[in-house]
Structure 1
Amino acid sequence: MNSTHLPNWLQRCADNTPRKLAISTPEIAWTFAELNLQALQLAQQLAALGIKQGSRVALLASNGVPFVVCVHALIRLGAILVPLNVRLTLEEQLWLLRDVEAMALLSDSTYTERAAAIQQALPTLTRARLQLETATRHVSLHNVTPDQHAPLLDEIDLEATHAIMYTSGTTGIPKGVIITYKMQWWNAVGSALNLGHQGESDCWLLCMPLFHIGGLSILMKNVIYGIRIIVYEKFDAALVNQAIREQGVSIISVVAVMLQRMLAELDASHQRYPSTLRCVLLGGGPAPRPLLEDCASRDIPVVQTYGLTESCSQAVTLSPADALRKLGSAGRPLLPVQLRIVDESVVVGPNQPGVICLKGPSITAGYDHRPDATATTIQDGWLATGDIGYLDEEGYLYVLDRRSDLIISGGENIYPAEIEAALLTHPDVAEAGVCGQSDPQWGQVPIAFVHLHPGSTLTPTELIAYATQHLARYKVPRAIYLTPPLPRNSSGKLLRRELPTLLSRGTQRKSS
């Protein structure tokens, strides 16, 4: 076996602990042996579609066992997973499929209509539907005869590409982040060394979207650690709290708005979390200090973490032992990760803010067919995240902002430039500027400031309706304000930080 190759992770779990519960959902529960068999059988069906090593396969599915089995089946074929954000519009999904040059689209029963619309627009795309037969407890492709002689891979090449996951950069143009197996391996190792690993007793509750790196990385930890995971299709505070109390959940990953809802449900039901819950990983942006203090007063083991798609989820995590001593910190870098703060190309010292830069085997080497973006973002192995933060005297990271203009709404990254670009396609719009506004439920929501061409009678209501056709629902501005010309600097660059000051200057608005 080559030194950069490892045995297939799921197969090793099936060999070592075949009867151990690997995954459970409200509908089904499988051991590692059962999950492995499902993956092997589905891989043979995928091979019959012409999917092979290097094939780029888009997956449009909700959280559940069909998604999980598909991920492992693609690994057996050496195919590249391209998970589609189910919240994107048809227009946005078509753009991604063309950009990544996907050869196949797999969907589940929830997205049959959307998959049909995609195939109509892209007729050369091979399409198949995943189905879960609950009676037989079997995941398969609808009406596809398996190729029982298909060559399946027994090893994982750490240098090979596991997935291409799209994320919008500060320009608002989506880029495909190359996620390798090496990144997944070292991220899992670094996380275990930081949070500890309790083997048989550990259980990770997964209620975050699997099309995000945070969810996908938990699927890999499931088979690298050999631990049990519980997968929910959607986040439901009552169900999550019940699982924590009754199913031995030891770790859960959430964002702030999810944790707030969990605490509210906990209060309503007059319950407390059991001692089996040893770690609540809190990501998705800087956490509100009152939320952290509330959790500390309840002895809830909240551990802040910082990461992004390019770092394969966690890059910096606060050790449970430091959770109270370093309240508000994202922690120290995981063992495989190097971190430095850079301001104007100079590495700065403690308590000096600057751009957070990361380096290590769990950090991406670049973007799919985007050499310019790769060269701009990654230099000498160092990834410039664009996020602003500082290190204290002990090397603990404090995140000040998730990129200067980034809006984080309910854990979703929203880039103002992307919304501005959509608004500017309307013929009546001369200028558009977008920023975030605080929201008690979502943390932030996008609002837009628009300067119309002279003589236009376009209303905010009409413009919101227009934006809804071009953007995912969570990206549509909560309010649009019609304003005079927008503030710009001497070089003509939009000054987004000054947009909120326009609210006091007699604007029209319309809430969506």
Structure 2
Amino acid sequence: MAEQTIPNWLAKRTFLTPERIAVESSGHVWTYRELDERARTTAAKFACFGVREGDRVALLVKNGMHTVEIIHALHYIGAVLVPLNVRLSAGELAWQVTDADARLFVYDSSQEEKAKAVAEKVPGCEAVSWGTLASTAPGSGDPPLKRVMALDALHSIMYTSGTTGRPKGVMLTYGNHWWSAVSSALNLGLHTGDRWLACVPMFHMSGLSILIRSVIYGITLVVHESFQPDVVNRALMKEKVTIVSVVSAMLDRMVEQLGSSAYPETFRCMLLGGGPVPLPLLDKCLRKRIPVFQTYGLTETASQIATLPPEYMADKSGSAGKPLFPSELRIVADGKEQLPGQEGEIVVKGPTVTPGYWKRERATANTLRDGWLHTGDIGYVDEDGFLYVLDRRSDLIISGGENVYPAEVESHLTSHPAVREAGVTGVPHPRWGQVPVAFVSLKDDHAVSEEALRQYCREKLAKYKVPVRIHFVDKLPRNASNKLLRRELLKLL
């Protein structure tokens, strides 16, 4: 059987619509023709540093036009992208660069100090700044540019956050990313005038998927270096952004900053991921007619694999929707598929699912079984097939034999008018095995006592779900995508 291939995304898009706006950021604008020329030139510069097809290139940069240029240049070389989280320590980054067997390590000026510390720890990998790379003169002769990609060729290695032990490198192919883009378009629809805002980091799946989808769709990628609620709201209100990807903590700040205003009709999609969403936040969005598409996805599925359209926000509040074309989803427990309403592990299958973990055969075998990805997340589907995600299995608290889902307790705590955000985790208990404890930060100019919050919980939650202690903190630990890091909560003590 012949190898299945696809044209280079940027080359094909430039051929189709060369004068469309490809990317803009901070007043700078490139058409697809201009982006393509830059990517080809930078690919030639990568070749000067000895980068060849299949080499891994680690990238430590913040969001920017240069990030888009670099990633498309790597596509032209056929090199494998290894995006690095700028919030990690030098030691953590060095471990990932070493584990990926990276040929080159590229960083921008914002990461220079940390990059030098990484380079000292990984002498076998050449480190080069973006400034040096950009100023390098391309070598004589045109480098061999990849105009066609095999669908099963490795596109990127993205390291998980590592909830237990060392992080794992999730391998993602061109086919994984292609089908993710197709699945999303079949669900969200596609308008030629769409402008998708990336204010989430491109070293995470959410941000990287926007970059890839924009070029496949032929729409404009609007890049923000970081998330600022007022700046994002202005882009939605004044700059005709039609789609933005966020997590619940970001959305909550946007809604608060929005005040009594409303988003214009040109804004059509608030793509909301990052885990279970507090119901009080969804209620606010319903009242303000914000078109929220709640999603469920993982790095291992190249972004969203299930999404709830806004027409179901009221009837299916809290659901992550149904699996997208052409993916499948089941709930299993003790090796058996569960009936509607029964809880179990979420397992998924489809062309967006990773082929496995980089150099981790055992982890791959444990996670991928008979073509199904075992996510480690707990949930159920209702009679209509809508998915409800309860929590990560690793975050589940078992107290006296009863399951306590931190997300449920957090959702109730954040419904209190004084609470800005909440995090819940378990601590050992001699009688019950584990009991929940909570960490909350309060809104400005608001006050509430620990006992008042515990009483608030008692009014709606079962006794075993009520936190035995509630600690007040300035802010909760979150990763670069603003996802809550429950495993870090106890360190606040």
Residue number in structure 2 paired with 1:17: 17
Given residue 183 of structure 1, which amino acid in structure 2 is its aligned partner?
A: N
Match among 301, 306, 309 for residue 296 of structure 2:
306
User: Is the Cα contact below 8 Å between 1:51 and 1:79 reproduced in 2?
Assistant: yes
Residue number in structure 2 paired with 1:414: none
Residue number in structure 2 paired with 1:128: 128
* 1:213-292 correspondence runs (5 A): 213-267=205-259, 270-292=260-282
Flag the 1:510–1:370 CA change in 2: closer, same or farther, 3 A. Answer: closer
Q: Distance in 2 between matches of 1:496 and 1:209?
A: 35
Scaled by the length of structure 1, what TM-score is found?
0.79
Residue number in structure 2 paired with 1:173: 166
Identical-pair percentage: 46
Match among 142, 154, 170 for residue 147 of structure 2:
154
Given residue 114 of structure 1, which amino acid in structure 2 is its aligned partner?
A: K
Match among 384, 389, 398 for residue 374 of structure 2:
384
Question: Structure 1 residue 3: deviation in Å?
Answer: 5.5
Residues 399-433 of structure 1, C-alpha deviation per residue, up to 9 Å, x if partnerless? 111334179xxxxxxxxxxxxxxxxxxxxxxxxxx
Flag the 1:155–1:291 CA change in 2: closer, same or farther, 3 A. Answer: same
Flag the 1:374–1:53 CA change in 2: closer, same or farther, 3 A. Answer: same
Question: Structure 1 residue 145: deviation in Å?
Answer: 2.7
Question: Structure 1 residue 14: deviation in Å?
Answer: 1.1
User: Is the Cα contact below 8 Å between 1:336 and 1:362 reproduced in 2?
Assistant: no
- SS at 1:57's partner residue? strand
Question: Structure 1 residue 330: deviation in Å?
Answer: 0.3
User: Is the Cα contact below 8 Å between 1:119 and 1:127 reproduced in 2?
Assistant: yes
Q: Distance in 2 between matches of 1:283 and 1:74?
A: 28
User: Is the Cα contact below 8 Å between 1:388 and 1:404 reproduced in 2?
Assistant: no
- SS at 1:209's partner residue? coil
Residues 320-370 of structure 1, C-alpha deviation per residue, up to 9 Å, x if partnerless? 332332221100000121100001111111010100000010011210110
Q: Distance in 2 between matches of 1:62 and 1:336?
A: 33
Scaled by the length of structure 2, what TM-score is found?
0.82
User: Is the Cα contact below 8 Å between 2:426 and 2:434 reproduced in 1?
Assistant: no
Once superposed, what is the RMSD of the aligned Cα atoms? 2.5
Residues 186-216 of structure 1, C-alpha deviation per residue, up to 9 Å, x if partnerless? 1111111111111x21111110011101110
Gaps of 5+ in 2: 398-405, 439-466, 471-489
Runs of 4+ in 1 over 3 A off after TM superposition: 435-449, 486-489, 494-504, 509-512
Residue number in structure 2 paired with 1:372: 362
* 1:40-439 correspondence runs (5 A): 40-131=40-131, 141-147=133-139, 148-198=141-191, 200-267=192-259, 270-405=260-395, 438=410
Residue number in structure 2 paired with 1:464: none
Residue number in structure 2 paired with 1:39: 39
User: Is the Cα contact below 8 Å between 1:405 and 1:496 reproduced in 2?
Assistant: no
Flag the 1:330–1:448 CA change in 2: closer, same or farther, 3 A. Answer: closer
Flag the 1:510–1:237 CA change in 2: closer, same or farther, 3 A. Answer: closer
Q: Distance in 1 between matches of 2:357 and 2:45?
A: 30
User: Is the Cα contact below 8 Å between 1:257 and 1:442 reproduced in 2?
Assistant: no
Residues 213-253 of structure 1, C-alpha deviation per residue, up to 9 Å, x if partnerless? 11101111011111111110000111111111112111111
Q: Distance in 2 between matches of 1:257 and 1:297?
A: 18
User: Is the Cα contact below 8 Å between 1:77 and 1:152 reproduced in 2?
Assistant: yes
